[in-house]
Amino acid sequence: MLKYIIKRVILAILTIWLVATLTFFLMHAVPGGPFVAEKSISPQAIEALNKKFGMDKSLPEQYMTYMFGSRNEETGKIEGGVIRGDFSLSLKQRGFTVSRIITTKFPVSAKVGGLAILLALVVGIPLGSIAALNRGKWADNVILVFTTCGIAFPSFVVCTVTMYLFSMKLGILPSGGLDLGTSYILPVFSLAFYPMAYITRLMRSSMLDVVGQDYMRTAKAKGLSQSVCLFKHALRNAILPVVTYLGPMIAGTLSGSFIVEKIFRIPGLGGQFVSSITNRDYTVIMGTTIFYAALVIVMILLVDILYKLIDPRIELK
């Protein structure tokens, strides 16, 4: 197991390096730059900015500096370089370090995303099980309609409809921001709706599969109660596909959704990521990309380990 983890960590570092390098050269290949504006600033000012942030150097030089550190020349920053976890300064939000942007915005996205994951799991797993155990009956049909809606409706529709209904028409929930406890309800629901429906479906099909297995029949024949059969034998096996889905889902949800964050005015990292691309804020693009890549890799690794814990038959190689 330990050997497996070490191997995965080395692979992870290589992957992150590859992602960082590709992103670095791709983003510079796109036309535009961080210092463009509708009103052009004087060539002198552009020159001064380029010099300050080292953008007058060749691309490979910039890459080496970004990766391995140095510069400063009166806080054009960089210093330690990515290799030492220093993401330097934002080029657009002057005065903010990229690390500060990530550490203030990620917790916001993670809090909303974490609640959404909980909601998706707490509702999705039982709902899927209920649908499977009542296959073909009215409860199954109702749940089927619900999950179809959840998968078919894009998140911006869910956001707009719930906001229109609960904050503009009924006036019982805030329309945005995260100032109040109740502010979390709409964005969390909007964010959870799709994974909730997806988990329900996954759970339903795998539960149906498990319930029909021989060992379940044996358990029932031995006279075990319905609840013991269900919780001890069926659920544990049926949940595996959900766990597989969990890794990418957690990474995706924690990192924040651009659309949900924009509509509900959540100061999260998802919105920041997208705006950094449209603004060509190179250092923020790099910082958030590396951070996301690491998050996804860690989540997938954790899920693989969780797999082993849930089903001891699985071997990690």
Q: How far apart are CA 77 and CA 61, in angstroms?
A: 15
Q: Give how many residues touch another protein by CB under 8 A.
A: 63
Of positions 19, 55, 115, 239, contacts another protein by CB under 8 A = 115
Q: How far apart are CA 189 and CA 199, in angstroms?
A: 15
Q: Provide the mask over 280-309, with x wherever binding to another protein is found by CB under 8 A and - wherever it is not.
A: x----------------------------x
Mark the segment that binds another protein (CB under 8 A) among 46-54, 143-151, 204-212, 215-223: 46-54
Measured torsion, CA atoms of residues 143, 146, 151, 155, in degrees rounded to the nearest 10: -150
Mark the segment that binds another protein (CB under 8 A) among 55-63, 192-200, 249-257, 265-273: 265-273
**Can you read off the two tokens belonging to residue 73?**
């020349």
Closest approach, Cβ 54 to another protein, in A, equals 13
66 in Cβ contact with 81 (< 8 Å): yes
The alpha-helical segments, DSSP class H, found in the chain are 2-29, 43-52, 59-68, 98-133, 138-152, 155-162, 185-211, 214-221, 226-228, 235-238, 240-254, 258-263, 269-278, 282-310
> What Rg value do the Cα atoms of the chain yield, rounded?
24
User: Is residue 1 within the footprint of another protein (CB under 8 A)?
Assistant: no
Q: How far apart are CA 85 and CA 68, in angstroms?
A: 10
| Nearest to 167, CA basis, from 180, 155, 154 | 180
SS3 assignment, position 315? coil
* Residue owning tokens 């939000």: 93
Closest approach, Cβ 181 to another protein, in A, equals 4
SS3 assignment, position 155? helix
Of positions 60, 85, 171, 223, contacts another protein by CB under 8 A = 171
Closest approach, Cβ 85 to another protein, in A, equals 19
Q: How far apart are CA 298 and CA 252, in angstroms?
A: 12
Strands 78-79 and 70-71: antiparallel
User: Is residue 313 within the footprint of another protein (CB under 8 A)?
Assistant: no
Of positions 101, 132, 143, 299, contacts another protein by CB under 8 A = 101
Of positions 9, 10, 11, 36, contacts another protein by CB under 8 A = 36
User: Is residue 15 within the footprint of another protein (CB under 8 A)?
Assistant: no
Of positions 26, 45, 152, 161, contacts another protein by CB under 8 A = 45
Closest approach, Cβ 135 to another protein, in A, equals 27
Mark the segment that binds another protein (CB under 8 A) among 2-10, 126-134, 276-284, 291-299: 276-284
Mark the segment that binds another protein (CB under 8 A) among 42-50, 205-213, 220-228, 282-290: 42-50
User: Is residue 214 within the footprint of another protein (CB under 8 A)?
Assistant: no
Closest approach, Cβ 52 to another protein, in A, equals 5
User: Is residue 80 within the footprint of another protein (CB under 8 A)?
Assistant: no
Q: How far apart are CA 237 and CA 314, in angstroms?
A: 12
Phi, psi dihedrals of residue 79, rounded to the nearest 5°: 55, -95
SS3 assignment, position 163? helix
User: Is residue 165 within the footprint of another protein (CB under 8 A)?
Assistant: no
User: Is residue 176 within the footprint of another protein (CB under 8 A)?
Assistant: yes
Residues that bind another protein (CB under 8 A): 30-33, 35-45, 47-49, 51-52, 74-75, 89, 92-96, 101, 104-105, 111, 114-115, 118, 160, 163, 167-168, 171, 174-181, 184, 262-268, 271-272, 275, 278-280, 309
